[in-house]
Chains A and B, each alone.
Chain A
């Protein structure tokens, strides 16, 4: 199977890179989340009589996905932020036609000699936690900074005006719960009602929101340098506080919410983000988006549980998400909302 994929990939890439002698080697599946099948490989070819070896990654749509995401969105986000000089892999090719590899896919540069932190690791960055933290929160601020239209992403899905960001996202994830819940979810439903009754202030601006900026979705090297921000498939336009709140969520805090994402103290993380983005964090607004973040998590885990239970996608990560993560976010929301009723 992997040999067949390798040959088909070779046939696709040779004309794309104008390299008729291109050979694909070392194709192997790697962890990359449940929303895409991810493979690394090497492409060998000659250009101007010089031998070239490129480390590349293939991201192919799965048969069924954890959440329905648009690979075009992900590909374009990679391109826009790579050009801005953020640590984002260079996108190489996007293919929506299913003829080449049976399902849509895209190819991008592989960032080598790096690893992603596990959300279950107690201290994923060890001695580099300060350095990783400064970069992690700073890069998130840099993502919030550009006007989406200036980087060619002004047509992304999402809110178009600062007053409707919250409404747009809340409706989006409520719909996911409506469609995917297999049993009544009283905590999620109460959270939706509470958020709707108590909307946040308007966003300070409309930004590109990464949508899943957290531990596990960036690569760092052994010296604590963040080399790649990955998994842009949920990118959209909205309130930049949405990304900040998601990154601060306790699920990615490695058991210590005072050090979100397993990095620096929460107050310092927010200060780094403010300095980098040029925006300020209004506590009431952030509190709304933090509750929303846990609700969005619940929606994703509810979808994962359904995918697994119905046999559409039985990857272990779906069972893990629909079980461990769902229970975790129910607890977070019950404590947050129950303490304030």
Chain B
């Protein structure tokens, strides 16, 4: 069985911690190397989930745009939201997902500013919907502390 990248990163981080750091001559080089091991553990986590969290973020934003667009009176913004809601990720490459994500996030900011300036319960409900998307995204992207 071929080892996956996250497995290789975890094993390598463990080897750095147990086999290399104790041999280093001072606190600075030990601390810097321990931090590199932590980054390898984060990278291992991201390897497993990276495409999934980006795809989920993008899907959530598109769904929110579709749900909120009836509240939007600005025709230019509404057209952009409709187009974004109907779009889809054509590739699961991280770079492609990130490009879509940046475009959708910029539109989310525009929508949020628009709703904040509108009176009424519907606008507040639209804002709430956006915060639900942002809270889910932030929770998804949280990294586990390598020391528990």
Residues of A within 8 A of B (CB): 28-31, 120-122, 183-187, 189-190, 193, 255, 315-317, 319-320, 323-324, 327-328, 330-331, 333-335, 337-338, 341
Number of A-B contacts (CB under 8 A): 91
Interface membership of B80, Cβ < 8 A: no
Complex CA–CA separation, A29 to B28 (angstroms): 6
Q: Which residue of A lies closest to B134 (CB)?
A: A334
Known: A186-B112, A333-B138, A334-B134. 10 other contacts (CB 8 A): A31-B31, A122-B147, A184-B106, A186-B134, A190-B134, A316-B32, A328-B142, A331-B141, A334-B138, A341-B124
Given A335-B135, A341-B128, residue A30 in contact with residue B35 (CB < 8 A): no
Interface membership of B87, Cβ < 8 A: no
Interface of A is mostly: helix
Select which of B29, B128, B137, B145 is within 8 A of A120 by beta carbon.
B145
Instruction: List A contacts of B113 (CB < 8 A).
Output: 193
Given A187-B138, A316-B39, residue A193 in contact with residue B131 (CB < 8 A): no
Complex CA–CA separation, A274 to B32 (angstroms): 38
Contact A334 B105 (CB under 8 A): no
Contact B102 A183 (CB under 8 A): yes
Given A120-B146, A122-B147, A324-B143, residue A334 in contact with residue B135 (CB < 8 A): yes
CB distance from A306 to the nearest CB of B (A): 14
Contact B131 A327 (CB under 8 A): no
Interface membership of B36, Cβ < 8 A: yes
CB distance from A55 to the nearest CB of B (A): 15
Residues of B within 8 A of A (CB): 26-29, 31-32, 35-36, 38-39, 42, 98, 101-102, 105-106, 108-109, 112-113, 116, 124, 127-128, 131-132, 134-135, 137-139, 141-143, 145-148
Given A184-B106, A190-B112, residue A30 in contact with residue B128 (CB < 8 A): no
Interface of B is mostly: helix
Q: Which residue of B lies closest to A29 (CB)?
A: B28
Instruction: List B contacts of A190 (CB < 8 A).
Output: 109, 112, 134
Contact B138 A330 (CB under 8 A): yes
Contact A31 B27 (CB under 8 A): yes
Contact A315 B32 (CB under 8 A): yes
Instruction: List B contacts of A185 (CB < 8 A).
Output: 105
For the complex of A and B, 9 pairs with smallest distance between CB atoms? A338-B131, A316-B35, A184-B105, A334-B138, A331-B138, A29-B28, A184-B106, A330-B138, A334-B135
Q: Which residue of A lies closest to B38 (CB)?
A: A320
Instruction: List A contacts of B137 (CB < 8 A).
Output: 330, 334
CB distance from A319 to the nearest CB of B (A): 5
Ordered by A's residue number, 26 sampled pairs between the chains whose C-beta atoms are within 8 Å are: A28-B26, A28-B28, A30-B28, A120-B146, A120-B147, A183-B102, A183-B105, A184-B109, A186-B105, A187-B138, A190-B134, A315-B32, A316-B32, A316-B36, A320-B39, A323-B39, A327-B141, A327-B143, A330-B137, A330-B138, A330-B141, A331-B141, A334-B131, A334-B135, A338-B131, A341-B127
Instruction: List A contacts of B28 (CB < 8 A).
Output: 28-31
Contact B142 A331 (CB under 8 A): yes
CB distance from B30 to the nearest CB of A (A): 9
Given A334-B131, A338-B132, A341-B131, residue A29 in contact with residue B26 (CB < 8 A): yes
Q: Which residue of B lies closest to A189 (CB)?
A: B109
Complex CA–CA separation, A193 to B110 (angstroms): 12
Contact A327 B148 (CB under 8 A): no
CB distance from B141 to the nearest CB of A (A): 5
Q: Which residue of B lies closest to A254 (CB)?
A: B145
Instruction: List A contacts of B109 (CB < 8 A).
Output: 184, 186, 189-190
Complex CA–CA separation, A120 to B145 (angstroms): 7
Given A183-B98, A184-B106, A341-B128, residue A327 in contact with residue B138 (CB < 8 A): yes
Complex CA–CA separation, A192 to B89 (angstroms): 30
